[in-house]
Structure 1
Amino acid sequence: MTTLVLCVDRTNDISRKTGLSMPVVGWEAVRSLVTEVGLSDPEDSSVNCLLEALRVTRELRDEREDAEVAVISGTSDTTVGLDRSVALQLDDLVANFDAEAAVVVIDSAEDERLVPVIESRLRVDAVDRVVVRQAHDIESTYYLLKQFLADEELRSTVLVPLGVGLLLLPLLLVQFTPAVALAGLAALAGAVFLYKGLAIDRFLSEAQDQIRDALYSGQVSVVTYAVAAGLAIVGLFLGALQISGPAAEGDVLVPSVLFVYHSVPWLAFAALTASAGRLLDELIGNEGVPSSYMNLPFGVIAIGLVVRGFAGYLLERQGFLDHLVLLGRLELAPVQRLTMFIIAGIVISLVGVRISASVSNETFDDVVEGRNES
């Protein structure tokens, strides 16, 4: 088995400058090619790439490996044609030398694009990138910039926010102080990072397709989600009204608890409405209902009761809420009130687990038939 040391020239510079046909195979042929390329263009980095391929071949042979050096080059005017011509040359080399592995020697980011083509036909043991020492920093920076600009997603993520920020900076400096302008740019950068880091763009794109599919398929959950959104807005609005009153002035803790106490019932009702719509879709569209969908409404009610119980306990201890009176005569202490809400939440949660375990495996038709028989 032979290891091919491949000097890759995707843009066909070597063949164009020397007039030789590709591939060029063999130690002596490649040594002569180095002279031809050097005399044609002494500043061409291909000279260093060819010499590196010869050096690697010599090292492999010194380690008693069967190694052969070759130069392959694109010989077409189109992008696809360049890659396909290299692939054909590589197929001939693999067939002639019974090669099982390759060491790829390149001198540019353009040549590196051929590595996947080579990997599709040979096991690539190493990729040796040749950079002229005098221009090491320039070459490395060039490769990084070229790869960065070739990545469309990375380009839109970094360059677009940066460009918007640079355009806004003069406007902000004219209208506001430098501190305010920098704060605005920092807020913009933070919003962009969160937008990409939390994958909000992907969520929004998927949400549009899901909403469109739901509307076309006539799912009940579309309506219940809209109702749930309205209920949630009402709950947040009523909670905000409570913390804007005179009784909520001063401390920060009490307004927060007031907001939770008055908004939780509406938020729980909103979640219950949304889960009910999802449950109806499952009942109508599927033969069975997962236990998670059956248990979700009971879990929402249980959590709402527990959260409202704790909020009511704290408000009652601070004198912002009257004692709870049951049946017009039984007055509960704050601890008794909290205990009742916790027990109610646990009981409802257990009932939900029991019902979901017994009903989730039944089909919708079985449920309807059972009700008709009863």
Structure 2
Amino acid sequence: MSGFIVTQHGTDIVTTLVVCLDRTDDVGRKTGLRSPVVGWEAVRALVTDVGLADPEDSGVNSLLETLRVAQDLRDENEDVVVAVVSGDRESMVSADRAVAHQLDELVAEYDPDSAVVVIDSAEDERLVPIVESRMQVDSVDRVVVRQARDIESTYYLLKQFLADEELRQTVLVPIGLTLLVFPMLATLAGPAEGAAAITTVIGVFLLYKGFNIDELVTGLAHQARESLYSGQVSVVTYVVAAGLTFVGLFAGALGVSSLEHTAGVVVPAMQFAFDSVPWLVMAALTASAGRLLDEAISDEPIRSSYLSLPFIVVAVGLAVRGFSAYVLEQQGVIDPFVVPAAEFGALSNESFVVTAGERLALFVVTAIVISLIGARVASSVSENGPDEEPDGSAESDTGTEPDAALRPQSELTDGGPTEPPADGSDSSRADGHNE
């Protein structure tokens, strides 16, 4: 038969069957061949057929492993029979019976002393007892494909992840700190408190990364360093503005603490705004003034946004102050505003009380007027930019004469402009030629 290995049996030569098991008949489905396939050349040709049909099939590796094992045994002076046995596609019972029938044919044909079984899956491993029931099995070679696509991709992704320093610091460091800190917190404060603390820290870290706060802090530090090196006035004003902001927050907190037991959060919030807004407005004005001075000192023209910013800050401060005062006066926290009596010589007036609505209207109207003034100032400055010189200004400034091409031909002679002759004769005879 074609494809079989012809062996000569001697008294001291052992015949070994190297068989590759395929329970689901993948080889038959992809190549159309019927099993068993026996012989070195037949199996080697089968490797090519299976590889061309499905290069990603692990059965190719099983067939190659079968050939390798057979070659090693043949180098040890053993008679080797190489075979591929496949099952049936109908059911598992019929597949096992088909494998048993093919093994009986091989035993009857070659009478092997032992067998080496090559498999590549747990499904094929269920056929090993069938082989053991018919001959001695010396070894079961399980083929594991090292470069499986999913495993290999996961490996290289993990390797690339561990090679990236930023990713390691972002992911591994928080996980490591969590694993170290949680047992201590659970021991000292309890599991619930430890889990709450860890969750809070992780949440703050995620928000820190999500809002790019690290980039904002880095940008502010870089800007502060550049401002210090360049000697900008805004560095000092920013420090003063930060101090005024701290004072404003402290004043608002004091105002809230002075309140008696008040239900809700509206009145404390309005009290905080009423006491802190003047300081916060002064802080904003100081910072904007420093920035405006830097723009004025530099060679570039002042942008209109820096001119309108102080007016907008004052307008917003007046509006917030007015609304907070209205709420506090309605709740009886602050007293109504009283205009004192004044005497101007023979004229005198009596003091009168400004109601809460009148005070709010006064603040709102003043804020709107100030914002309009700021917009007008910014627009006027942007319109009154550096004047351009009109056409021909170079001629008026330098006092030079017009272009020679525009001068009369008589003025282009060596003698300059030609004057009429003293005797009153025609100027055309000035060269001494008579008609």
- What TM-score do you get using the length of structure 1 for normalisation? 0.60
2:163 alignment partner in structure 1: 150
Pairing 1:319-330 to 2, within 5 Å after superposition: 319-328=332-341, 329-330=351-352
Task: Indicate conservation of the 8 Å contact 1:264/1:304, yes or no.
Answer: yes
The alpha carbon displacement at 1:230 in A equals 0.4
Q: Deviations over 1:148-207 (max 9, x none)?
A: 223332222211222221121111112111111011111111111111111111112222
**2:246 aligned with 1:233:** yes
The alpha carbon displacement at 1:255 in A equals 1.1
2:374 alignment partner in structure 1: 352
How many pairs does the alignment contain?
A: 241
Task: Indicate conservation of the 8 Å contact 1:242/1:248, yes or no.
Answer: no
Task: Indicate conservation of the 8 Å contact 1:268/1:304, yes or no.
Answer: yes
1:171 alignment partner in structure 2: 184
The alpha carbon displacement at 1:208 in A equals 1.7
Pairing 1:141-220 to 2, within 5 Å after superposition: 141-220=154-233
1:338 alignment partner in structure 2: 360
Mean Cα deviation higher: 329-338 or 144-153:
144-153
1:307 alignment partner in structure 2: 320
Q: Tell me the secondary structure at the aligned position of residue 260 of structure 2.
A: helix
Which amino acid in 2 is paired with 1:356? A
Q: Tell me the secondary structure at the aligned position of residue 355 of structure 1.
A: helix
Pairing 1:1-374 to 2, within 5 Å after superposition: 135-247=148-260, 249-328=262-341, 329-360=351-382
Q: Tell me the secondary structure at the aligned position of residue 176 of structure 2.
A: helix
Task: Indicate conservation of the 8 Å contact 1:289/1:361, yes or no.
Answer: no
Distance 2:299 2:261 in 1: 49
Q: CA 1:339–1:133 in structure 2 vs 1: closer, same or farther (change >3 Å)?
A: farther
State percent identity of aligned pairs. Answer: 53
Q: Tell me the secondary structure at the aligned position of residue 287 of structure 1.
A: coil
Q: Deviations over 1:54-84 (max 9, x none)?
A: xxxxxxxxxxxxxxxxxxxxxxxxxxxxxxx
The alpha carbon displacement at 1:246 in A equals 4.2
Gaps of 5+ in 1: 1-38, 53-131, 365-374
Q: Tell me the secondary structure at the aligned position of residue 191 of structure 1.
A: helix
The alpha carbon displacement at 1:139 in A equals 2.5
Distance 2:296 2:382 in 1: 10
Task: Indicate conservation of the 8 Å contact 1:288/1:360, yes or no.
Answer: no
Distance 1:352 1:215 in 2: 30
Distance 1:286 1:160 in 2: 48
Which amino acid in 2 is paired with 1:210? Q
The alpha carbon displacement at 1:135 in A equals 3.9
Mean Cα deviation higher: 277-286 or 133-142:
133-142
- What TM-score do you get using the length of structure 2 for normalisation? 0.52
Distance 1:273 1:361 in 2: 26
Task: Indicate conservation of the 8 Å contact 1:242/1:262, yes or no.
Answer: yes
Q: CA RMSD in A?
A: 2.7
Q: Tell me the secondary structure at the aligned position of residue 325 of structure 1.
A: strand
Distance 1:190 1:292 in 2: 37
Q: CA 1:349–1:293 in structure 2 vs 1: closer, same or farther (change >3 Å)?
A: same
The alpha carbon displacement at 1:266 in A equals 0.7
Task: Indicate conservation of the 8 Å contact 1:243/1:249, yes or no.
Answer: no
Gaps of 5+ in 2: 1-43, 57-144, 342-350, 387-435
Higher CA-based Rg? 2
Distance 1:156 1:142 in 2: 20
User: Which has the larger share of helix?
Assistant: 1
Distance 1:207 1:231 in 2: 19
Which amino acid in 2 is paired with 1:330? F
Q: CA 1:247–1:303 in structure 2 vs 1: closer, same or farther (change >3 Å)?
A: same
Which amino acid in 1 is paired with 2:283? A
